[in-house]
Each structure stands twice: as structure tokens, then as C-alpha cells.
Amino acid sequence: MLSFIARRVLIAIPTLWAIITVCFFLMRLAPGGPFDGDAPVPPEILANLRAAYNLDKPVMVQYVDYMANLARGDFGPSFKYKDFTVNELIAQGFPVSAQNGLSALILAIIIGIPCGILAALRQNSVADYTVMGFSMTGIVVPGFVMAPVLILIFSIGLKDTPFQLPAGTWEGGAFKHRILPVFCLSLLYIAYLARITRASMIEALRQNYVRTARAKGLPFHQVVVRHALKTAMIPVVTFLGPGIAFLLTGSMVIETIFQLPGIGRYFVQGALNRDYTLVMGVTILSASLIITMNIIVDVMYGILDPRVRHD
């Protein structure tokens, strides 16, 4: 097991290097640059700016410089957020996004998985149709529709009642201010988890060994929990691996609507601004998270099914 993890971590290094390299050159191939604003900048100032940000050298030299800084853990200065380094932006924003993402993840797991199991056990019943109806809604209604609707209900409709919830304010992350954004973030994951769990549980309950367990006279709840659940969790873990990485790095839509100081918005803003270093920073962060999660998923497979154990 340990040697498996060590091997996967070693493979992750060239993977990450390839991602960084491709991303670096793609950004510079894209038309426009960080200083192409609406108002044209005088050529002398532009030349100074380019020199200040190391953009006047040949691309290969820039690449080597960037990689050298990266090896020291320095993501470089942001091109747009003046006076901030990318390290500082991530250090401020990532904890906010990760805390919200983690809360949303826990919410999704404790609601989505039990709902999916219930729907599978009562297949084609009212409970099943209700769960599947809600989860279909959760999947098809995009966040930029769901969030304003929830704001309309909880912040405006229920104004001056005990159920009113604030929106668009952060207050340093006070509990009440997190409820709506976290709920919005988790909805899609609740919906997906319920559907995936239902499908894989129905499949697991059809297995021959579940019939064997029933033939032993085990009560049905024991059959489900001991014999079917682990198998049913394999697709759930597969989905959650990259899902967790996306959740932790925040959502541009939710963070913009609720005005959260996370890093989700940097993905889009950074790309539009040609903020090369910022885009590189968030890309490296999310790529590392996805790679880490995939290693964890592979380890989980071995726990859930001893036939794929890595020795």
C-alpha cells in the first residue's frame, strides 16, 4: 500500500510539470496581454511594465525563470491585483473557498447518500420518485438561477422573520452568512450523489452475494449495510474524488453572486485579464488537488473491494 502511494506521488510530479508547462505556453499563445486595457498605454510605460514583470525576455527565458521561482514556492506577483503576490491572493481566498466547499461536501454526503439508498430500497415508490424528482431539479437548474431564487425566498421573502438569511455579505464568515452559499454549492452534489447512490445500490442489491446474505436469514438492514453498501459506494467515491477538488477550489458563480472572498472568481477573472501568474497559480492549486484526490480514490477502491488492493 505505502509503495503504491509513493509510486503514485512520484508519477504525479511529471504530470504536474506537464500541466504547468502546457498552461504556461497556452496563456502566452492566447491573443492579448495583461496590459491591453481599454485605454491604450503609452509605449514607454508599456515597455517599463513589461520589463517590471519580466515579460520583455524571450518566452523560453520567462519559462525557465518562472519554473525556478516555482521551485522555491513563489508563484510571482499578480499582474492585475497590484501590490499582491499570487501566493497572498491564494492564501487569503483558498481558506474561504475550502471551508465553504468542505461544508457543502459534508452536507451533500449526509443528505445525498441516505436519500439515494432510500430511493433504491423503495424503488418506484413515492419516496423514490420524490428523491429523484428533487435531484433532477438540482441537476438541471444551474447555480446562477438557484442562487437568486434562494436569495429571493430567504433574504427578501422572509425579511423580518426569524428565517431571514443574509446574502451578499460575508462578515468574516459568520455562520448565518455561510448558510445560503454553502447550501447552493451543495445542491448539485446532493442531487448527483442521490442519483449515483440509488443506481449503484440497485445494482449492488441484484448481486448474487446479496441473495446469499438473505438466504442466511440476516435481517434486511444488515444485508444492505454489511453486504451491499461497500460495493455501492465505489461509483460514489469515483464521483466524489474530482468532485471534492472542484468543491474546495470554489465556484465562480456562487462566489460572485454571494460576494464571497474566495478563489473561485480568480479562475475566470484571471483568464479574462490575462493575469498569467494568477491563472498559473490557481491552475496548479486545482491540478494538485485533483491529482491528490485521484490517489485517495484509488486507495479507497482497495478498501471497498479487496480484489483491487494494491500490494
Q: Name the residue nearer to other proteins (CB basis): 213 or 240.
A: 213
Task: Figure out which of the listed residues 10, 31, 160, 208 binds other proteins, where binding follows CB under 8 A.
Answer: 208
Angle at 277 between CA 276 and CA 282, to 5 degrees: 105
Question: Nearest to residue 228, comparing CAs of 253, 211, 252?
Answer: 211
- DSSP string over 140-198: HS-HHHHHHHHHIIIIIITTTSTT----S--TTT-HHHHHHHHHHHHHHHHHHHHHHHH
**Under rule CB under 8 A, residue 37 binds other proteins:** no
**Under rule CB under 8 A, residue 82 binds other proteins:** no
Map residue 33 onto helix, strand or coil: coil
**Under rule CB under 8 A, residue 57 binds other proteins:** no
CB of 233 to other proteins, least distance (A): 10
**Under rule CB under 8 A, residue 217 binds other proteins:** yes
**Under rule CB under 8 A, residue 211 binds other proteins:** yes
Binding positions for other proteins, 135-164, rule CB under 8 A: none
Alpha-carbon separation of residue 126 from 114, 130, 191, 287, 310 (angstroms): 16, 6, 17, 42, 42
**Under rule CB under 8 A, residue 213 binds other proteins:** yes
Cβ atoms 204, 228 nearer than 8 A:
yes
Stretch that binds other proteins, among 16-24, 76-84, 204-212, 286-294 (CB under 8 A): 204-212
**Under rule CB under 8 A, residue 122 binds other proteins:** no
DSSP-assigned letter for residue 219: -
Task: Figure out which of the listed residues 62, 69, 85, 207 binds other proteins, where binding follows CB under 8 A.
Answer: 207
Q: Which residues bind other proteins (CB under 8 A)?
A: 207-209, 211-220, 222, 226-227, 230-231, 304-307
